[in-house]
Amino acid sequence: MAKDSAAGSTSLLSKNIKIEGEIQGPENFHVEGYIKGSIKLSGDIFVGNTGIVEADVEAKNIVIQGEVTGNRARTQAVRDSSVRQVNRRLQCSVH
């Protein structure tokens, strides 16, 4: 069986891009733009200083420097670095 080459890569949403809808995938995701909807990743998500996320978030790890508003975030770890704003519930199960 072939190894999934996407598992080690990172997708970037730049600061001038806005997306509304559902995002799913095996990759890591770096957000500097705006997302509204839902995010389900088996990789990590990094919300940068200019990133704004209005979404339910599921990811392996979440690092937040920007703004996150959502009903739930299930992860192995949530790290807040210079957080501007985190709203709603963040649920973590650290192993």
Q: Give residue 81's pLDDT band: very low, low, confident or very high (50, 70, 90).
A: low
pLDDT tens-digit map of 21-68: 999 999 999 999 999 999 999 999 999 999 999 998 988 888 888 988
Backbone angles phi, psi at 91, to 5 degrees: -110, 125
Name the residue ranges covered by the structural domains of the chain.
20-92
pTM for this structure?
0.76
Q: What single-letter DSSP state applies at residue 28?
A: E
Per the DSSP assignment, residues forming a β-bridge with 61 are 77
Backbone angles phi, psi at 6, to 5 degrees: -75, -20
